[in-house]
Amino acid sequence: MNTVNWTALIIFLALFALVTWLGFASARWRRGNLDELHEWGLGGRRFGTLVSWFLIGGDLYTAYTFIAVPALAFGAGAIAFFAVPYTILAYPILFVVFPRMWNVCNKRGYLTAADFVTGRFGNRWLGLAIALTGILATMPYIALQLVGIQVVVGALGISGTGFMADVPLLIAFAVLAAFTFSSGLRAPASIAIVKDILIYVTAFVAVIVIPIRMGGFSAIFAAVPKEHLLLPVPGPHTTGVYGVYATLAFGSALALFMYPHAMTGILAASSSKAIRRNSVIIPAYSLMLGLLTLLGVFAAAAGLAKLPEFATGFKQYAGSFAVPALFLHFFPSWFVGIAFAAVGIGALVPSAIMSIAAANLYTRNIHGLITGRAPEGAQEARIAKWVSLIVKVGALAFIVFLPLKYAIQFQLLGGIWMIQTVPSVMLGVFTRWFDDVALLIGWAVGMVMGTWMAAAMKFGPAYVLHFAGWTLPGYTALYTLVANLVVTIVLTLVLRGMRGEQRDATLASDYVP
């Protein structure tokens, strides 16, 4: 068994206890009737600009971001920095699209993207497709947040075999399930404030202290091989890694706000103005993300894979232990406890929002189709609370009973799946021109094609196209979105002439304040 870092563990547990108390206490914050779904699942749409900033940032920048992006920089080098421009590209989309989405959802009482699609296009099966896609993509995402907790628990020196190895995870799961059940979206909204403060402090201290201790940035970059710092120059008749980098950034930006947890954070805002303001100030998180990515470069320069500290982590996580090892090597135990708490709490916030978002989708868009009767009032909220618990159990099962690679593969597929909702959701905010059946068929083509392409590339993010003598590697999700749109447009041109005017429950005035 590894030696327990007691100082770090005590600080970690103290901060964990603080946010646990905060999670339960938040039920009384901006008090509302938590037996109503819009109060439990959207906080009554009462979060202003500042709280929305913490909430949206808290569900987009997760524990897995803290661990995986620096790990990618540690293992693969410069390609990891695609995460910075991708988030920058996402915020103009937030500014243009989602204030309109908030307006129509607020006026029509929609709680989910599937609610909006069903109303806009008058097709409950299209709404069902959007709901199922969201839930399918969310489950492995929650599982990977729990991986963040496992990594830091291992780094603290707590390990075991069999059931004992999963005890810390089960405790974290029980805490998460309890305060989410009782407090709804108010819990992650309040905890996100603590989580983000801890992550900002950790990131800024790390990028100041570590370079000082390593002799400055020039010494750091001199210690890393040049090929690790730069993307390789493409050869003739190929876009090479440049194409992968660009399409990853653009495709990820399109998919980001399609995820149910992102949509939930947006729809919980108090006004469309709050969303516009957030599109301006949330890019501060991109600065933090850039700093976090640099930690992977620091770890590579320090040669952490050769240090004893690296071996104290769980071997199955390989490079994912780069950031914990970095803090163990360069910082005193008390600060290690703060940094690891930032990761652990960073897992609770998005996990809670994701499970709530999945529960909203099931309750609003699936349960009625299964039972033949849509729930109402307190029954609606009660079903959502129990479904949020079931979703967490499913995510926990991913980690406990399946190899980690499956959760990672499903999370990569999640981006491919979620981008297939762009025509119905994002474009649907601006136009009703698309035929609902065409949208459904286009979605199905994108889902099947994307899953097949990802499997063919052994679940890597890129697929290689060959066209007119050119080799064009690029993000699979973006390629399949193009196929989805082509099918949707062609079928719309055919079907609109046959089917005539389609039903739309929304009005033009619904989309403006």
In CATH, what number is assigned to the domain containing residue 430?
A: 1.20.1730.10
Domain presence at residue 63: yes
Can you give the pLDDT at residue 163?
53
User: Which has more pLDDT, 307 or 366?
Assistant: 366
Q: Mean pLDDT lowest for which of 151-160, 293-302, 388-397? A: 151-160
**Residues 474-495 pLDDT 10s:** 899 999 999 999 999 999 999 9
Specify the pLDDT at position 314: 43
Determine the average pLDDT of the residues in 105-125.
94
pLDDT score, position 159: 66
In a domain, 122, yes or no: yes
pLDDT classification of 500: cutoffs 50, 70, 90: low
Host domain of residue 176: 30-511
Q: What is the mean pLDDT of the chain?
A: 86
240-284 residue pLDDT tens: 888 888 998 999 999 999 999 999 999 999 999 999 999 998 888
Banded pLDDT at 366 (limits 50, 70, 90): very high
Tell me if 16 is assigned to some domain.
no
Residue-level pLDDT at 320: 67
Average pLDDT over residues 49-64: 82
Measured distance CA(178)–CA(173) in Å, rounded: 8
Q: Is the pLDDT of residue 87 over 90?
A: no
CA distance 211 to 215: 6
pLDDT number for residue 28: 78
Regarding predicted confidence, which is higher, 147 or 73?
Answer: 73
Residue 270 and residue 183 in contact, taking contact as beta carbons nearer than 8 Å: no
More confident residue, 29 or 416: 416
Element of type H or E holding 467 = strand 462-467
pLDDT digits (tens, 9 = 90+) for 183-203: 889 988 888 888 888 888 988
Average pLDDT score over residue span 327-350:
88
Write down the residue that tokens 């609003």 correspond to.
Answer: 364
Quote the CA–CA distance of 173 and 175 in Å, as a whole number.
Answer: 5
* In-domain check, residue 6: no
Q: What is the mean pLDDT of residues 344-372?
A: 89
Name the burial class of residue 401, with classes exposed (0-12), middle (13-18) and buried (19+) by CB atoms within 10 angstroms of its CB. exposed
Q: How confident is the model at residue 312 (pLDDT cuts 50, 70, 90)?
A: very low
pLDDT tens digit string along 406-421? Answer: 777 777 888 999 999 9
Check pLDDT > 50 for residue 316. Answer: no
Q: What is the pLDDT of residue 358?
A: 94
Q: Rg of the Cα trace of the chain?
A: 23
Tell me whether residue 114 is in a domain: yes
Residue 313, pLDDT score: 44
Across 112-121, 161-170, 224-233, 456-465, the highest mean pLDDT is recorded for 112-121
| CB of 463 closer than 8 Å to CB of 456 | yes
Q: Would you state the pLDDT for residue 162? A: 54
End-to-end CA distance of the chain: 60
* Nearest C-alpha neighbor of 443 from the set 410, 477, 474, 417: 417
Compare 279 and 158 and report the one with higher pLDDT: 279
E strands, 335-461, are: none
pLDDT tens per residue, range 289-309 = 888 888 888 988 887 755 544
**Higher per-residue confidence, 351 vs 154:** 351
Mean pLDDT of 347-375: 88
Residue 405 near residue 316, CB atoms below 8 Å: no
23 falls within a domain: no
- Does residue 21 fall inside a structural domain? no
Residue 5 lies in a domain: no
User: Could you tell me which residue, 102 or 166, shows the higher pLDDT?
Assistant: 102
201-210 pLDDT per residue, tens: 988 999 999 9
pLDDT at 1: 43
User: Could you tell me the pLDDT band of residue 93, with boundaries at 50, 70 and 90?
Assistant: very high
What is the predicted pLDDT for the residue at 57?
83
Total domain count, the chain: 1
pTM (2 d.p.): 0.90
